[in-house]
């Protein structure tokens, strides 16, 4: 999934690492000490997100896509950023993208029309290549 060695930022809904897209990214990112997972919202006690953030886990047992149990070593760095909402509005998202200045933006969370509006605005205002992938669409991140 994430085979490219170039730096990138993946913003995914957290689900406190209990569900959602972040779990799949976590499986790929966690083993590499060069990677960093940044938590921007509260992690409830007892969730995987909280245990990872607190540094209380070195290996995690998870299911892979085929339903087999897999041990995921947690070697990545972690950080918590306060003051950033997991429910940012349009202006907050646009300001964040403008500050980070990525080469490409993929919008993959929210109603399709609103996601398309964000992607279109990122391109028209900031001249950054952006798109809204279809469900189950496979993309090469380059």
69-86 burial, b at 16+ Cβ within 10 Å, e below that, comes to eeebebebebeeeeeeee
Measured CA to CA, the distance from residue 49 to residue 46 in angstroms comes to: 8
Q: Is the pTM here over 0.85, yes or no?
A: no
Helix (H) or strand (E) run with residue 99 in it: helix 90-100
pLDDT tens for each residue of 14-63: 678 888 788 888 898 899 998 898 888 788 899 999 999 999 899 999 98
Q: Which residues, 6+ apart, have CB-to-CB distance to 138 below 8 Å?
A: none
Helix (H) or strand (E) run with residue 109 in it: none
CATH of domain 1-84: 3.40.50.10890
pLDDT tens for each residue of 82-122: 766 667 889 988 998 999 899 899 998 888 999 999 999 99
């Amino acid at each position: 999934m994430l085979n490219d060695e170039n730096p990138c930022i993946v913003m995914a809904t957290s689900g406190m690492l209990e569900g959602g897209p972040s779990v799949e990214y976590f499986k790929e990112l966690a083993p590499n000490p060069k990677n960093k997972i940044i938590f921007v919202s509260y992690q409830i006690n007892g969730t995987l997100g909280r245990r990872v953030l607190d540094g209380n886990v070195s290996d995690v047992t998870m299911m892979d896509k085929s339903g087999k149990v897999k041990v995921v070593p947690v070697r990545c760095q972690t950080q918590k950023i306060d003051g950033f909402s997991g429910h940012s509005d349009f202006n907050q998202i646009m300001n964040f993208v403008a500050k980070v200045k990525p080469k490409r933006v993929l919008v993959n969370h929210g109603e399709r029309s609103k996601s398309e509006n964000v992607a279109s605005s990122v391109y028209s205002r900031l001249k950054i290549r952006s798109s809204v992938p279809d469900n189950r669409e496979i993309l090469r991140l380059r």
